[in-house]
Structure 1
Amino acid sequence: MADRETVATDTGDAAVTWHRAAGRARLVLGLGHGAGGGIEAPDLVALAAALPARGVTVALVEQPWRVAGRKVAPAPKTLDTGWLPVARRLAAEGLPLVVGGRSAGARVACRTGAAGGAAAVLALAFPLHPPGKPEKSRAEELLGTGLPTLVVQGEKDTFGTPAEFPGLPAGHRLAGVPFAGHGFAVPKRASLSQPEALALVVRSVADWLDDLAL
């Protein structure tokens, strides 16, 4: 059963919803949300439901702006300030820490992973560029994590398809989800169903975590 904890930060209170591992935990996976939604995103929910059975404690993190009820995310620096105290709290569990998130949350994890004491970074639907503006690339954030990094990306994501990503450094991995958009939704006419798309996201993450051997 999930439980909720408040974590104080310099930008307000963040909230952590814990989905504890079944039995002995082997690592903590902290996941942040995007700028347009919260921890109810289908990919985050699917990971929180599936991974505890594999010995992974999943912590879904709500940024202070979201906890306060604001509708617009603040600047990246403020997001990072609101994340790092949470990362320290997650690390206090005494287990290897993997940080990540979807969209804007993935960017935060990439920028702060090393500083927050993480062993690896998970980037779900990394927003490589604003839709229709490939010249405004954010690849530097992803390439500069300095940690093993998994990107799980929809093949129809308007914020950047897998084919648009630059060559990744050693330790980085890219997993594509056929037919999926930025939220990993797939069209009804696709040969991959919505449950199958989310199962592919979960399997890609679970296999990567196993390969990390933390």
Structure 2
Amino acid sequence: MWSPASGSAATVALAHGAGAGMEHPFLAGLADALVADGVSVLRFVFPYVEAGRRMPGPAAHAVATWAGVEAWLAETAPGPNAAVGKSYGGRMASVAAAEGVISPAGLAYLGYPLHAPGRADKPRGAHLPAIGLPQLFVEGENDPFIDPREQFDEVVGSCQDARVHWIPGGGHSFEVKGARRPAGEIGAGLAPVVAEFVRSL
């Protein structure tokens, strides 16, 4: 879904997480707010969603999808773009970048899934130091996917060019206990952080 912003000089490719497609209210809210802020957005789905499956397929399929997205943007919106993804979508962008399949201006991860909750013994970040592009981790302070925090800090510290933007009290989907907000509103609230990062590239 291509949403060009008026007079846009910044473009984002926005990927969904493992449990939801590109129409999820969180992504829709974020995309709408980015466009309103002058950032063009391309949303897309991975092959397993198109096939009607609920669980992600092989990583190679997602990497190939990211390559296709970058090729499409090169023709439609020439110029620098950022690869942004919620959880699984962001991790697959990082794999594609580490393998040299895509070369965006930067990558932003919205809730990077370093490991499954309670499975810190199986981290998924060994490839991140190979990425020479700027990386932004937008993370909820209470996200079980990056607990223990020391492990996450070590991974980020091993990256060539990475920083973290913390969401106080936020969980994996940036929900804050005791503060009920619609997913679309939560997504829109992250737009200024993503837009600032994209423009800094």
Q: Same fold (TM over 0.5)?
A: yes
1:96 aligns with 2:96: no
* Equivalent residues of 2:11, 2:80 under 8 A apart: yes
**What is the one-letter code of the residue matched to 2:27?**
L
**Structure 1: how far apart are the matches of 2:148 and 2:12?**
23
* Equivalent residues of 1:177, 1:201 under 8 A apart: no
Q: What is the aligned partner in structure 1 of residue 112 from structure 2?
A: 126
Shift of 1:152: 0.5
Deviates more, 1:168-177 or 1:102-111: 168-177
Q: What is the aligned partner in structure 2 of residue 174 from structure 1?
A: 164
1:194 aligns with 2:178: no
Deviates more, 1:64-73 or 1:197-206: 197-206
**Structure 2: how far apart are the matches of 1:198 and 1:37?**
14
Which of 23, 36, 47 is the aligned partner of 2:19?
Answer: 36
Shift of 1:103: 1.0
More strand by share: 1
* Equivalent residues of 2:96, 2:102 under 8 A apart: yes
* Equivalent residues of 2:33, 2:188 under 8 A apart: no
**Structure 1: how far apart are the matches of 2:22 and 2:129?**
25
Gaps of 5+ in 1: 1-16
Q: What is the aligned partner in structure 1 of residue 68 from structure 2?
A: 85
Q: What is the aligned partner in structure 1 of residue 196 from structure 2?
A: 207
* Equivalent residues of 1:177, 1:197 under 8 A apart: no
**What is the one-letter code of the residue matched to 1:84?**
A
Matched ranges for 1:37-116 at <5 A: 37-92=20-75, 93-113=77-97, 114-116=100-102
Shift of 1:151: 0.7
Q: What is the TM-score normalised by the length of structure 2?
A: 0.85
Task: Name the Cα RMSD after superposition.
Answer: 2.1
SS at match of 2:144: coil
Q: What is the TM-score normalised by the length of structure 1?
A: 0.80
**Structure 2: how far apart are the matches of 1:124 and 1:162?**
18
* Equivalent residues of 1:102, 1:126 under 8 A apart: yes
**What is the one-letter code of the residue matched to 2:120?**
P
**In the comparison of the two structures, how many residue pairs are matched?**
192
Sequence identity (%): 36
Point out which structure has higher relative CO (alpha carbons under 8 A, 6+ apart). 2
